[in-house]
Structure 1
């Protein structure tokens, strides 16, 4: 044991020197990343990567000093890094690591952006090497592996300064489309959250079963979800009473129900029942619209 003490002391000194060198290398990498225009959090991550690589090599050199019979090949062989099983097990780790570095370099989104990834939507809190931290709008944290963000579709809601919102407003089929559109635009112009350029527009989107569906398009700034929700609330609160005051109908579903084989001109023959109804033993003759059962009975008795 005493024989290893000199090698152990030398190994610790070598590791300490390389550790101090890693700190200087990390600061140098951070300054270089800052000069290249990288954000502070990205410069910090690259600094950590540089320190980690230097510390890894320092540990291997110190180990070879303490144990001269141990070289890099034997260390990797002992750890099983070259084995196929460990390679498959570490595949996801290295995949997320590489995807994290590519996300930091390409920067499709930044910390603070609001994104949609699959079923998750929220604000980016941090972009780490292995995963990205997302805070949902109801204040929950979602940890998304970087490989999913890099290989799948991601919607960045705050990528641009302005964002278009569209709302559906139904009106009656007999209402004046031009009057309804002018009323909506007049009310929208009074809302501060709604930008007047690009100009809001009202388009006839479709002909519904019970209504004419108008699509209201307007733009907002900033593009965060809070502005989307609050602007939607203000627009609906403004146009609903305005349309009512202008005589524009806000329709609701209307159905026409016909019983048995009833038509618009006659009650039909009650002996011919549809599925699920027992056939009637009484003879009900067809009648004119508005004629009640009592009237038909009196007519039959007089005859």
Structure 2
């Protein structure tokens, strides 16, 4: 008997057996991935028709995609000779280690769920949270994507974000623009108030109701400070801010009202 022939036949049989299993697993993965893609696309269309929040859509679609992929992997394992019971035992044994290693990720997942449940913000809102500011572009399973005013992409973990103080500048339709203007002590208060109020009332983007307000807010070391406040639509905030800043300087100059600035004082020692 030729031992080499026996070994060759043994390896050929093993190759055929496992080769067919691997080919079958690949085919199942290809077909399963195609089905998952179709299911995710169908879910996306149904959510769009149901007028779901965009952030919730993104979160649920990611969850559905990952859940189906895990189910597909569990389905493929028996075809390559790995029993599901063995796989479950391995997962169970590694569960503690995985849980400890993924504490941050699990916290981020929980944070994402809390954000979508309580909705402190939605896609399109401008927020400040976890030390970052920007427009919310996408709420994912583990992270939230922001775009800064400079159009920089910022990825914020959902765990710290959900546990931080969140300021949502887009939550309300109207927002108050607060400015502080300091003028010289030598200038007339009533005249200054008239000039500043004229800046507010002459800007069509500053609302008449609620009414704008100008008031003396502080007698500072080198200036009398005025609070200049007007209500605007959220979308007009920065336009009005820049327009009023320029108009205040121009109109105060035209009225002969001085905006003081620090002067260096040279102190001479007496001999």
Query: Which TM-score tier does this pair reach, normalised by the shorter chain?
Result: 0.7 to 0.9
| TM-score w.r.t. length of structure 2 | 0.78
Higher helix share: 2
1:42 is aligned, of 56, 80, 83, to 56
Residue pair 1:29, 1:46 contacting (<8 A) in 2 also: no
| CA separation of 1:28 and 1:252: change in aligned 2, threshold 3 A | closer
Q: Aligned match of 2:249 in 237, 240, 243?
A: 240
The secondary structure found in structure 2 opposite 1:164 is: strand
Structure 1, unaligned runs of 5 or more:
261-269, 271-279, 281-303
Cα separation, partners in 2 of 1:173 and 1:86, compared to 1, 3 Å: same
Q: Determine which structure has greater relative contact order: mean sequence separation of CA pairs < 8 Å that are 6+ residues apart, divided by chain length.
A: 2
The SS at the match of 2:244 is helix
Residues in 2 aligned to 1:245 and 1:7: alpha-carbon distance in whole angstroms? 87
Correspondence for 1:283: none
For residues 53 and 173 of structure 1, do their structure 2 counterparts lie closer, same or farther at Cα, with a shift above 3 Å needed?
same
Which stretch of structure 1 is more off in the superposition, 241-250 or 160-169?
241-250
Aligned length: 257
Q: Kindly indicate whether the alpha-carbon contact (under 8 Å) linking 1:81 and 1:87 is maintained by their aligned counterparts in 2.
A: no
Root-mean-square deviation (CA, aligned residues, Å) is: 3.2
Partner of 1:64: 78
Q: Paired residue for 2:192, among 180, 198, 217? A: 180
- For 1:77-123, what per-residue CA distance to the aligned partner results, in whole angstroms no more than 9, with x for missing partners? 43576343322111111221222233234322122211112432121
Shift of 1:242: 2.7
Question: Closer, same or farther in 2 for the Cα pair 1:238/1:100, shift >3 Å?
Answer: same
Distance 1:185 1:96, change over 3 A: same
List runs of 5+ in structure 2 lacking aligned partners.
Answer: 1-13
Does structure 2 retain, via aligned residues, the 8 Å contact 1:133–1:142? Answer: yes
Over 3 Å counting, the alpha-carbon distance change for 1:237 and 1:6 in structure 2 is: closer
Per-residue CA deviation, residues 128-172 of structure 1 (Å, 9 max, x unaligned), is: 112111111122211110112111111111111111111111123
SS in 1 for 2:69: helix
1: distance between equivalents of 2:40 and 2:123? 22
